[in-house]
Structures are given as structure tokens and as C-alpha cells.
Amino acid sequence: MVVERQQNTIARPAKVSGFGYWSGLDVSVEFRPAPAGHGIVFVRRDLPGMPTIPAKIEYRVDGPRRTTLTCRSASVEMVEHLLAALAGMQIDNCQVWVDRAEMPGFDGSARPFVDALNTAGVQTLPARRQSLVVSGTVKVGDENSWISISPTTRGKCEIHYELDYPNDPAIGHQTHSTVLGEHDFANGVAPARTFITQQEAEALRQQGLGRRVSYSDLLVFDQQGAIQNKLHFENECARHKLLDVIGDVSLVGCDLVGRIEAYRSGHRLNAELVRQLLNLYPQSVRTSKAA
């Protein structure tokens, strides 16, 4: 049975500021309320005409290690943690005004976005949230990394992530599961931080990337563990990859009712699953009712 709910927005504006991991540039983000049916839309207030970029899969473009959206000549990138915060808190309609392309990285988690949204408060809107109910299994990837979604009887979106770093024992094998709208997203998933190996970090620095980022801004692992940092959770890396899944699959533009299982998947595969779903389930088969 599908658990139907009302659409939500935020009750008042909220702001956060930081700097982008990749660019090192300062950036401000303002969340603003939006009406029912509006969806999540980015507004590049720093560009002429303040172009908008809807948070939908058709605007996603491939890029390394992050999720990027492009509409005409305007882009926003590193949006997965921000989108996960909105999706995890079931905020369906919001304008996200930004003054740079790259979103702030903070500590590599979604918690600063969640804190700002909690300050803004949630406002229920007079319309039902649309759902896509999965009736068969859809899977993308190969034996090395994959993500799938299959039917569930819980009426919500279940997510299970399995992470495996056999050559990096400090990370190793980890799993985590959650149910959107049921488990504690704000405390159990949102605080999980971005992670990277020391070798990967050094390679990025040699490319001139991430020069403003320190060990306190994300988890950097050597063979012994996190460098100059302490884990929030024993399985924090798996929780963060699950957080990425939440942000990436939110580009479907409605609630998903199904069980997502992922094995070592990343942004590209997460997005491919969404594309496959929308091809199989056109708008006409999704549920949406007036309040």
C-alpha cells in the first residue's frame, strides 16, 4: 500500500554559506518557499537574467565525483548533498538561490543544509505528492558495481547500500539501510561525510583541485584510518554513499515506492537507474491526487 502524503515546502527563507571543494570559491545558498507543483529549482542569481535550473534528471550531465545540472548555459554542481537534505526531509518545493556554480562542501555531509532547513520549518501544501510505484525489478551496472530497485510492500522507499574497498582495509566492507520518511534521516544519514583515500586526495591536489580543503573538511583515509579526524559512525562511508543515492534518485521528481539496493554504485549509475525508471514508468502511471 502506497503511503500518500501532502506536498511540502519551507515556511520561511533560510541561508547557508561556505566554499566549494573543487573551486575553492565562496558561495551563498538561500532556500526560499515555493508553491505546490513547483519542485526543486536552482536560481543562479549571479548570472544575467538569473537563469533557473530544475532539479530533474533531464538536466543532469556527467562529471567526475559529483552531480552537475545544466540548463541552457547555466549550471550548478556538487548538488547531491543539498538535494539529499531536501529529499530526506520531504521538502518537495523550494527555490534554491545561489551565487556560484558549485555548492558549499562544509564538512562533506548534508547536515548544515538540514540544520538550515530545520530553522526554516516545513509548510504543508494543499496538494498530494506524486508517487512512482515500482512493479518490477530494474537494475543497472555490472558485477563490479550496480544499483537496482524492486517492489516493496512497505509503501515507501527503502534503501540498502553495500560498500566494499578490499584494497583499503581502513574502509573495508560496510553496509547501511534506511527507509525515507520513516527512519531518522537528520541524525542517522545526513551527518555522514564525504570520504576519499589519501592517494586520491594527492592526485586531485596535483591537478590543482581541492587546495582549500583540509583534513577537517572531509574524511581522508590512509591505511590506518581517517587522517586527523574521527568517524561519526563506524560505517560512515556506507552511510555517505547512501546519502548520495538519496540525492541522486531525487532527480526522479516524485516519491519512489520500492526497495533500492546498491553495491559500490556512484553518481553515474544512480542517475542511470532514474533514467531507466522514467522510461519504463511514464507520467500517466504515477499517482497524484488533489487534496
CB atoms within 10 A of CB 35: 11
User: Of 81, 176, 240, 267, which one is the catalytic site residue?
Assistant: 267
- Determine the angle formed by the axes of helices 236-249 and 267-280, rounding to 10 degrees: 40
- The secondary structure of the chain in percent helix, strand, coil, rounded to multiples of 5, reads 25, 35, 40
Q: Which of 240, 229, 10 is nearest to 119 (CA)?
A: 10
- Determine the angle formed by the axes of helices 80-88 and 236-249, rounding to 10 degrees: 80
Is 267 among the residues known to form the active site? yes
Residue found under cell 565562496: 26
CB atoms within 10 A of CB 144: 8
Catalytic sites, residue numbers: 267
